[in-house]
Structure 1
């Protein structure tokens, strides 16, 4: 077995990163740096290549959907490496959500979908969140209210409006993902939307829309005329 330390200096991922910057490295090389070491049978580079080769269709994006437990199924990845990889992936997601210092503003459903997509697109269970807005429709935060099964999440109005009140929100947009990749809203989606819209009227925190996310696509219930 060829270990990373046995490779010529110019072929070692860490040395290449230091010499040329991270942009020149392949996905396998970047993953190998995070892994740090492999197993007795495989180097970190070989282990990284094995992981990526088992996910040829999605490639490095597969890491965004893998749990710590799934990562630990690979020989050579223990809890320490698995949690490090999970943390790195989460940082990448958060960086994608914070591309500007100024708070993003929601002018149309696409703005809300663009904000929520990086965080929810790769979730393997249904996540129900709310995009909280101030009076000028700048985004205050997007708390996750409920995490459900592959096909459904349970949403309690009290939790929705508790988060809205705590953040002094003037309005909100409901958003959740469909792990199937198909954003078509279900009957339950429509029912909970109407229920929360009625509660919003009582609380004086209007529910402006409900965005259902699929695989890099979305449906706005407001835009589709499914809610008024």
Structure 2
């Protein structure tokens, strides 16, 4: 006889994500169970928890953080994930990013707290390619705008300070802060990172819009050029 598949309603309450969450709290749910709550329904004879487990096996790193790296199209290529479920998962990752950025409050002076900046942009560590972000700061070093300058390669896409300061002037920046990620997970600055940062520092000093820091995001690690002394070191 073939295997009988139990529906979610036929499972014991302790094995259903919703009931388990109510009884014990969301912290006890596995990654697959958390995803099952978002996905809501199964597909093709699979329960939502089984579908969620299948999703986890096909995303980068086979862990829930891999969702940050997946586009709408890539999600829809997964068996059992259609347009609506892909949208739900994409919205989940965007909510997570925004929550990360709002944890520390707008009153924090970012230039004095590189660890806070790094934590707010922690989701960049999940990107498969290098992304460069420019933070526009006011006279109190509070963020007035957050711009994505490139998504590909820090050195190739941002070969000159021109684009940085075009945007800085356009958005009336008093000072600026740069961030980019290293997909390898190692945030140690390369020689090219250091050379380009020096050029940005020199240009900023010349036109009166200083670079207060350049932060590289790695895997649960970061490097602040200001904190580590790279802004003063010779190339």
Give the superposition deviation at 1:112: 3.0
**126, 129, 133: which one pairs with 2:133?**
129
Q: Deviations over 1:8-40 (max 9, x none)?
A: 455433344456654443322221121122221
Q: Is the 8 A contact 1:132 1:142 kept in 2?
A: yes
- After superposition, the Cα gap between the structure-2 partners of 1:222 and 1:74, relative to the gap in structure 1 and judged at 3 Å, is same
Give the superposition deviation at 1:127: 0.4
CA distance in 2, matches of 1:95, 1:88: 11
Aligned to 1:115: 120
CA distance in 1, matches of 2:138, 2:59: 41
CA distance in 1, matches of 2:155, 2:128: 11
**181, 203, 220: which one pairs with 1:216?**
220
CA distance in 2, matches of 1:213, 1:219: 7
- After superposition, the Cα gap between the structure-2 partners of 1:56 and 1:173, relative to the gap in structure 1 and judged at 3 Å, is closer
Give the superposition deviation at 1:46: 0.7
CA distance in 1, matches of 2:81, 2:193: 39
**97, 104, 109: which one pairs with 1:105?**
109
**46, 57, 69: which one pairs with 1:65?**
69
- After superposition, the Cα gap between the structure-2 partners of 1:12 and 1:193, relative to the gap in structure 1 and judged at 3 Å, is same
Larger deviation, residues 61-70 vs 171-180? 61-70
Q: Is the 8 A contact 1:105 1:111 kept in 2?
A: no
Corresponding position: 1:140 with 2:151: no
Q: Is the 8 A contact 1:128 1:177 kept in 2?
A: yes
Corresponding position: 1:154 with 2:131: no
**4, 10, 16: which one pairs with 1:12?**
16
Corresponding position: 1:169 with 2:193: no
Give the superposition deviation at 1:85: 0.1
CA distance in 2, matches of 1:6, 1:141: 51
- After superposition, the Cα gap between the structure-2 partners of 1:109 and 1:36, relative to the gap in structure 1 and judged at 3 Å, is closer
Secondary structure at 1:142's aligned position in 2? strand
Secondary structure at 2:227's aligned position in 1? coil
Q: Is the 8 A contact 2:14 2:20 kept in 1?
A: yes
CA distance in 2, matches of 1:58, 1:142: 30
Q: How many residues align?
A: 226
CA distance in 2, matches of 1:113, 1:14: 33
| Unaligned stretches of 5+ residues in structure 1 | none
Give the superposition deviation at 1:56: 11
The TM-score with structure 1 as length reference comes to 0.84
- After superposition, the Cα gap between the structure-2 partners of 1:103 and 1:166, relative to the gap in structure 1 and judged at 3 Å, is farther
Q: CA RMSD of the aligned region, Å?
A: 2.7
| Unaligned stretches of 5+ residues in structure 2 | none
